[in-house]
Amino acid sequence: MINWNTKPIAPPSARRLAYDVLYDVFVKEAYANLTLQKVMKKYSGKKYEPLSKPEKGLLTELVYGVCRRYNHLTWIMGRLSTRPVRKMDSKVRILLAIGLYQLVFLDRIPESAAVNETVEIAKKVTHLGNVKFINAILRSYLRKKIQLHFPQRKGHELQYLSLTLNEPEWLIRRMSAQIGKARTEAVLEEFNKAPALDIHANPIKLPASKLFEKLKFHHAEPELIPFIPDGNGIRVGNGDAFFRSPLLKNGEAYVQSAASMIPAVVMNPSRGDKVLDMCAAPGSKSINIAQLTGNWASIDAWDLYEHKVNLIDHNARTLGIRCIHAEQHDSTVIDESRKGQYDKVLLDAPCSGLGVLGHKPEIRWRRTEDNLKEFPPLQQKLLDAASVYVKPGGVLVYSTCTLNREENEDMIAWFLEKHKDFRRDTFDFAGRHLVEGMITIWPDEFHTDGFFVARLVRRNNDD
């Protein structure tokens, strides 16, 4: 018998939920954004009372704040503990990070609340010895915080930059060698800002101008993204208002980083084009291409995994896109039957992700310099395959969400040296005439994720 009088259960506190999310991120290597979305969804249903706006805000702040400032927080732990940080239990590190983040960065939270609430969570997830240790470290910080100072920049520049920019030393050293110290610092400072919420209009259902008016009506504080044409890229100042509105559910808009909208713009597809998106999930770039052609193209969207293919199908249906054909396919394996069949091919290649450290701050602590060696061989294999599918006179767009030169400019140089039947293709973007046929989207300049996009054309037989 159904009990119709069952009351919703009160949700756990924001701090406890932050601990659960961060445990998954740092121990199980989950993505912070996806795990946080799952938790938010769980505590917005019928079983639980919804999280209040302040609790949502604190949960988000703690998760992303700890992910960004993790080395800063562990540096403090190291100064206050005789036990090496690397030998601390993972639960202890995470709880200390949550408590210290509040004490160091959140002035609005009383010190007593930061300490006591963290200790209460510790009592539920670990043993008494760890509880006492956590309590002692947090209270030690309150006594000694005035005495804690970062090393001076002079004489300790790399360590100083690592702690102030919240990035591993190897990344700062590598980026500085490739793009210079000034740009490196500007880019990494941008990664420590809360990322904006960007959405793409869906002109198949609603003109961008009308979507903009609806966003204003719902108090979502919209602002046009100047480098996305036709008003289709919109930055939303009030994310809560946007997600409360029916616009997302109705397929009138969808969430997408401004930088990831750019490959389709550079491709510049035409009505009637036959297009291949080789690494398509979750399908946003295929959807961009469909929208730019007014739903009048034939787009094959490939992904290696069945559940991601289903996601592409679902997203396309929600938005009323009928010209995308999602298919499970290993893009490193050439399909001989489709050689030279496509007017335009997009290869948004798997990469090191060093351009999305704002949206995915935990990546900075997972990547190692050795990890970067894994990506170029895969990218080369995918580019070799992509070249096969492009018609003579057709276009190949290569993009990544990294700022690593070896995966970007060096990859294009390698490709053109091997494939003499391709050349760079000049294009215009954001008021610039790009004669080199490629552009790097710098986060400090465009205020979005870091991206690289190149446009190549296959020579006609008579070229």
Check pLDDT > 70 for residue 42.
Answer: yes
In a domain, 114, yes or no: yes
The mean pLDDT of 390-414, rounded to a whole number, is 98
Q: Does position 302 have pLDDT exceeding 50, yes or no?
A: yes
- Would you say residue 1 has pLDDT above 50? no
Three-state helix/strand/coil letters over 108-166: CCCHHHHHHHHHHHHHHHCCHHHHHHHHHHHHHHHHHHHHCCCCCCCCCHHHHHHHHHC
State residue 463's pLDDT score: 64
**Ramachandran region, residue 83 (left: φ > 0; alpha: ψ -120 to 50; beta: rest):** beta
The tens digit of pLDDT for each residue in 181-224 reads 999 999 999 999 988 999 999 999 999 999 999 999 999 999 99
Residues 306 and 426 occupy one common structural domain: yes
**Is the predicted pLDDT of residue 5 greater than 60, yes or no?**
no
Report pLDDT digits (tens) over 96-110.
Answer: 999 999 999 999 999
Closest CA to 439 of 431, 448, 449, 451: 451
Average the pLDDT over 50-76 and give the result.
Answer: 94
Residues 352, 206, single domain; the answer is no
Residue at 3 is within a domain: no
pLDDT confidence of residue 315: 96
Q: Is the pLDDT of residue 427 over 80?
A: yes
Q: Could you tell me which residues are beta bridge partners of residue 236?
A: 197, 222
The answer to whether the CB of 436 falls within 8 A of the CB of 419 is: no
Beta-bridge mates of residue 253: 201
222: helix, strand or coil: strand
By three-state DSSP, how is residue 29 classified?
coil
Residues 128 and 177 in one domain: no
* pLDDT of the residue at 461: 72
Catalytic site positions: 401
Pairing relation of β-strands 390-400 and 342-348?
parallel
The average pLDDT across 397-426 equals 98
- What pLDDT, in 10s, does the model give residues 126-146? 999 999 999 999 999 999 999
Q: Which segments are annotated as binding site for S-adenosyl-L-methionine?
A: 279-285, 303, 330, 348
**Within a domain: 55:** yes
With respect to residue 152, please indicate whether it lies within any of the assigned structural domains: no
Indicate the number of domains in the chain: 4
**Same domain flag for 273 and 407:** yes
Tell me: do 112 and 38 sit in the same domain: yes
Q: Same domain, yes or no, for 266 and 406?
A: yes
Final residue in a domain of this structure, among 231, 255, 279 = 255
Question: Is the model more confident about 163 or about 45?
Answer: 163
- Taking only Cα atoms into account, the Rg of the chain, rounded to an integer number of angstroms, comes to 24
> Among all chains, which residue has been given the structure tokens 């793009």?
179
CB atoms within 10 A of CB 293: 19
- Find the length of the chain: 463
Average pLDDT over residues 395-420: 98
* Contact of 424 with 434, CB cutoff 8 Å: no
Sequence-separated (6 or more) residues with CB below 8 Å from residue 267: 275, 289, 344, 346, 395, 397, 455
Backbone angles phi, psi at 370, to 5 degrees: -65, -35
Contact 193, 231 (CB under 8 A): no
CA angle 322, 326, 331 (to 5 degrees): 145
Residue 264 · residue 285 · CB < 8 Å: yes
* Predicted pLDDT at 47: 80
CB 106 within 8 A of CB 62: no
Closest Cα to residue 339, out of 247, 451, 421, 222? 421
Provide the pLDDT for residue 6: 66
Q: How far apart are CA 61 and CA 54, in angstroms?
A: 10
Q: Tokens in use for 230?
A: 């036709």
Contact 284, 260 (CB under 8 A): yes
Of 208, 236, 255, the last residue of a domain is 255
The residue segments making up the domain with residue 116 are: 14-147
Residue 23 lies in a domain: yes
pTM of the model: 0.93
Residue 53 structure tokens: 């706006």
Could you tell me if 275 and 407 lie in one domain?
yes
Q: Which helix (H) or strand (E) holds 181?
A: helix 181-191
| Beta-bridge mates of residue 298 | 274
Q: State how far the Cα of 241 lies from the Cα of 229, in Å rounded to an integer.
A: 25
Residue located via tokens 């005789």: 82
As given in the structure block, the two tokens for residue 62 are 């703690």
**Confidence band of 52 (pLDDT split at 50, 70, 90):** confident
Over the chain, what is the mean pLDDT? 95
Q: Are 53 and 180 found together in one domain?
A: no
- Do 35 and 142 lie in one domain? The reply is yes
Stretch 273-285: mean pLDDT = 97
H/E stretch holding 90 reads helix 90-105
In a domain, 5, yes or no: no
- The pLDDT score that the predictor gives to residue 46 is 72
Enumerate the known binding-site residues: 279-285, 303, 330, 348
- CATH number of the domain that residue 55 is part of: 1.10.940.10
Amino acid 7: pLDDT: 75
Q: Identify whether residues 437 and 416 lie together within a single domain.
A: yes
- Report the largest interatomic distance among the alpha carbons of the chain, rounded to a whole angstrom: 78
When pLDDT is averaged across residues 43-72 and rounded to a whole number, the result is: 90
pLDDT of residue 9: 83
Here the CATH number for the domain that contains residue 360 is 3.40.50.150
Domain C-terminal end among 210, 236, 255:
255
Whether 428 and 313 share a structural domain: yes
The answer to whether residue 82 sits within a structural domain is yes
Burial of 211 (0-12, 13-18, 19+ CB in 10 A): buried
Residue 289 has pLDDT above 50, yes or no: yes
- Residue 463 forms part of a structural domain: no
Same domain, 168 and 33: no
The CATH number of whichever domain residue 211 belongs to comes to 3.30.70
pLDDT of residue 370: 95
Is 450's pLDDT higher than 60?
yes
